[in-house]
Amino acid sequence: MPRLALVANWFLLGCSVAAEPDWVVARQRMVADQLAGRDITNQQVLQVMRTVPRHELVPDSQQRQSYKDRPLPIGHGQTISQPYIVAFMTQALNPQTNDVVLEIGTGSGYQAAVLAGLVKQVYTIEIVEPLARRAEADLKRLSFTNVQVRAGDGYKGWPAAAPFDAIIVTCAPDHVPKPLVDQLKDGGRMIIPVGPTGDQSLYLLRKEGGAVRQEAVLPVRFVPMTGTAEKPKP
């Protein structure tokens, strides 16, 4: 092979190798710039987000965008939140090691994976069955053994696994579903976006002595909750 061609081949090989993303570095930068650089201070949350491979839990076409400060499409008209919102909601729940947590809106499985590194058990429900099956397979492939995935209507919760120490909702109904409140332990916490598209707020709820206190903590934009949530409130 002529020397010029050999040099050219080595140059192309070098470019190909250099083009491969360094996912570990990307995660470290994400945590430093988007999370710790803002108002995420919970060290356990920061650490788990340094380790969960977000790029393994999005469609192949979105992998290079995985650690950017933006939501990502995951198919079927659904998206997953940017890393900051995942961290913010997780921190707001104040997850504890022995907690059993319910997630409504599995999506790609990323939020469930983050929680899995912080709590005892995660139950997660996704109304779009192909997304549920894909998330279940990806979480199993990545050895998140303390997550159970179910395809179904999240408005109704998961009565057989209740009560829950915490509930996180990643799609927006126009009111807080009563079944979820009923399935929350006394002393439990819920983080949920509520409101129509374009006018949503993230609410933190605390259940104490059977009563529920709620506080609006952040304006947000989530996909609407579908299924029972679309019916008029009784």
Known catalytic residues are 81
What is each CA distance from 176 to 16, 45, 187, 195, in whole angstroms? 50, 26, 17, 9
Single-letter amino acid, residue 49: M
Rounded to whole angstroms, how far apart are CA atoms 64 and 11?
A: 23
* Burial class of residue 166 in the structure, from the number of CB atoms within 10 Å of its CB (0-12 exposed, 13-18 middle, 19+ buried): buried
Place of tokens 């090989």: 13
Cβ neighbours of residue 2 closer than 8 Å, sequence gap 6 or more: none
Residues in the chain: 234
Radius of gyration of the chain (CA): 20
Rounded to whole angstroms, how far apart are CA atoms 214 and 233?
A: 19
Rounded to whole angstroms, how far apart are CA atoms 140 and 135?
A: 8
- b or e along 90-100 (b: 16 or more beta carbons within 10 Å of the residue's beta carbon)? bbbbebeeebb
Q: What is the DSSP string of 13-65?
A: HHHHHHHS--HHHHHHHHIIIIITTTT---HHHHHHHHHS-GGGGS-GGGGGG
